Structures are given as structure tokens and as C-alpha cells.
Structure 1
Amino acid sequence: MDINVHGAFFTAREAAKIMIPQGSGSIVLISSMSANIVNIPQQQTPYNFSKAAVKHMASSLAIEWAKTGVRVNALSPGYMLTKLTKTILANDSQLKKTWENLTPVGRMGEPEDLAGAIVYLCSDASKFMTGSELRVDGGYCAI
């Protein structure tokens, strides 16, 4: 909760202190597909509800700051091959196979797979978008 929720809130609040006076800005909070589904086979209730809180925080802040010109959206990645997940999966190759089999595209995401979504959410291409969630999950939540 401290990192996922409080960290996201305090960071957004500090960014808004600069963006609101200038009358524009885009904040992207990192949620997770886990804000929308219950992951299997691992048990991770605290992670799931913390990421659901971040997703809802993005919507709430978007409404509160909409008239100031500051947009707030959530990016929700699926299973990504980050340094942390690589460490976890190094000791559990079956879990990696399970995640890949549950993901319609058949693989885990690379951090680079999020770059286009971040650029979009931060750019004027999404200037009419606030309070939204963009999932980049290889189709996991579509099932």
C-alpha cells in the first residue's frame, strides 16, 4: 500500500503542484491488469487491491483536476518481464509457462511494449482522454 497507493498519490500530488499553475499536464499512474481481474495461480490479494486503488485514484484525480487542464490516466500492464518478475520466474519456470499460456498472445510483455502507450497518454494525441485506463496485457483481460 505504501509504494503502490501512497507513492502514486504523493507523486501525482507533487506533479500537480507544477502542472495546475501552468494550466496543463498529463499524469500517468501505473496500475495493473490485476486491478480488473483475479490472477491465477498465485495468491496476491494485497497487490490486486492496491492496483485497483491506483486505477480508481486516477479516475478520481482526473475529475478533480479536469478543469485545471491536468489529465490523469492509468496504464495497466499485464504480465511483464521486469527485473523483479525475472527474479521470481528464475526459480519457477512453470509459473512463466502458466502466465504465457493464459495470455492470448502467448508471451509475457517486455517493458518496451509499454512505450507507445506511455507516449500516447502523455501526448496531445490523447488530449481529450482523462480518467481512463489503458490496458496493455496481451489480451489477458479480454478472456
Structure 2
Amino acid sequence: MRKKETSHMGIFDRLSLEGKRLFITGGSRGLGKEIALAIADAGADVVLVARDRTSLEATAQEIRTLGRDARTYVADVGNPAACEAVCQQALEETGDFDILVNNVGGRRANVPVEDMPIAQWKELVDLNLTSTFVCSKVIGGAMIRRGQGGRVINLASINALVAGRGITGRHYETAKAGVLMLTRSLATDWAPHGITVNAICPGIFATDPNKAWAEKHPEIIEAYERNIPMGKLGEPEDLGPLAVYLASDAARYMTGSALVIDGGYTCW
């Protein structure tokens, strides 16, 4: 009897991002850089958006050494008007995107709620939440119109789930919780279009800002490490493989999920 032919794809084929194009905010350094490099290593071309031209070009050059195309745009996506403009410009100059990573964000201010000026609150919520909305609206909207599906990955935080210890500035927890709910809502809205929307919730990683914070406030970082079952901060490159998975065909049935990567911090 003749064997039935199958169209089975190998697991590494399903993880390949050959022929795909990524748009990532805050992609020039830290977690965003590692995500961009990992997705490029899996085969995708990349458009990087960040504020600093020098670090943008340095990361773009690393991507090019992997044999992928890399384009850069200097913009402050924490400014909603500038964010919308750079998204539109990238679409017009580069074409549609298959993968959107909303990575930009940060606490930036350690100011108690009772002391925080309203203008500062709005500015930081725009950075951490409104930027995700605007990029999703413009880049994700283009995915819908193209009709070929897509992948949206939002960087939330474990602080979308638990309050940070020994630190104030609760704009961050509030905005990241908003990112999580926006992720779930868009996942339901965009599933009929073949677009998955998922969130990554990192714990504390050894990024340059956190290393600088550790020098100024070593007691806070040491307290964090004591409360991480694995006993240390995460390394930025540990985030890349997770992003590749979410961007790939291997994750085609996962949407609306929040994947925690924190060394076990939120288990206790």
C-alpha cells in the first residue's frame, strides 16, 4: 500500500522567519536590541526605531552582519504624534510588516503617586502604553488591510501583575497592566484576521539602565536577587528566543497570552 504523503514541517522550519519584516520600537539597546538580533538571526529584515542615532546604527550594523537588511528611524515614540508619524513613514518607505514588537518603555521616574505632577504621569503613560496603542493602530492596521496575518508582541512587565518592591513611580505598573489588557483585547479583535497578539512580561534583567540603577541603589537590586529563585538577574539575550517563538509559525495558535520570564520571581 502506498504511504500517505504529508506536508509535515520540521520544528526549525516552523521557527524560521525568512522573508519576514520586523518593526521594533526601542530596538537599539537592552532587551529590544536582543529581540531585534534574535529575530534577524531567524531570518527577518528589521526596522529599528529609537531616539539615539549612534546606538541605532550600531545595532543595525550588527543585524547586517547576520545577512539581513536593517533600516533605522530616529524618533521619540513616547510622543504620540511623533510615534504615529514614524510608523506611517516606515510603512510608506519600507512596505508592510509581518512582525511588530512594541518594546519601548521604562520607569524613568521614582516619584510617589502623591508627589507626581500630572504632566509627568501623562508623559510616562504615553511612553509605556500610548506608544503601544499607536504602533498597533498604524502597523497592526496595515496588517489587517493587507490580509496576510501577522504577529504583534508587546513588552509588558511582571509589574503588570505585581507591584515593584522598594520603588515608587506607579505609573509604570499602571501602564504595563494596560499593555496587558490591550494585548488581550486586540488578540480577540484581530484573531479573525490571522494576527496573533501576545505579551512578554520580563522580570528584572541586567540591562544598562538596571546596571546603572544597581550602582546607585545596590540595596534594591540585591533585594530583588534575594527574591528570585534562580538567584540572579536575567541576561538580555535570554529574551530573544522567546520573541522568535512568538513571531514564528510555531506560535500560530497562541494569542492573548502573557508569558512571564523572571527567574521565578513571581512564584513566591
Q: TM-score, normalised by structure 1?
A: 0.95
Once residues 162 and 187 of structure 2 are traced to their aligned partners in structure 1, the CA distance between those partners, rounded to angstroms, is 23
Tell me what 1:58 maps to: 183
Cα displacement (A) at 1:84: 1.5
DSSP-derived class of the 1:76 partner: strand
Tell me what 2:171 maps to: 46
DSSP-derived class of the 1:6 partner: helix
Instruction: Name the aligned partner's letter for residue 232 of structure 2.
Output: R
Unaligned runs of 5+ in 2: 1-124
DSSP-derived class of the 2:198 partner: strand
Residue 108, structure 1, aligned to residue 233, structure 2: yes
Once residues 12 and 75 of structure 1 are traced to their aligned partners in structure 2, the CA distance between those partners, rounded to angstroms, is 16
User: 38-47 or 110-119: which moved more?
Assistant: 38-47
DSSP-derived class of the 1:14 partner: helix
Residue 96, structure 1, aligned to residue 231, structure 2: no
* Identity percentage of aligned residues: 34
Cα displacement (A) at 1:85: 1.3
Tell me what 1:26 maps to: 151
Residue 133, structure 1, aligned to residue 258, structure 2: yes
| Divergent runs of 4+, >4 A | none
Unaligned runs of 5+ in 1: none
User: 89-98 or 121-130: which moved more?
Assistant: 89-98
Once residues 125 and 111 of structure 1 are traced to their aligned partners in structure 2, the CA distance between those partners, rounded to angstroms, is 22
Q: TM-score, normalised by structure 2?
A: 0.52
User: 48-57 or 82-91: which moved more?
Assistant: 82-91
Residue 16, structure 1, aligned to residue 140, structure 2: yes
Flag the structure with more relative contact order, 1 or 2, with Cα contacts below 8 A and sequence separation at least 6: 1
Cα displacement (A) at 1:65: 0.7
Cα displacement (A) at 1:89: 1.3
Cα displacement (A) at 1:17: 2.5
Deviations 1:99-136 (A, max 9, x none): 11111110011111101110111111110001110111
More helix by share: 1
Once residues 70 and 15 of structure 1 are traced to their aligned partners in structure 2, the CA distance between those partners, rounded to angstroms, is 12
Once residues 160 and 141 of structure 2 are traced to their aligned partners in structure 1, the CA distance between those partners, rounded to angstroms, is 27
Deviations 1:68-112 (A, max 9, x none): 111100010001111211121111111111111111110011111
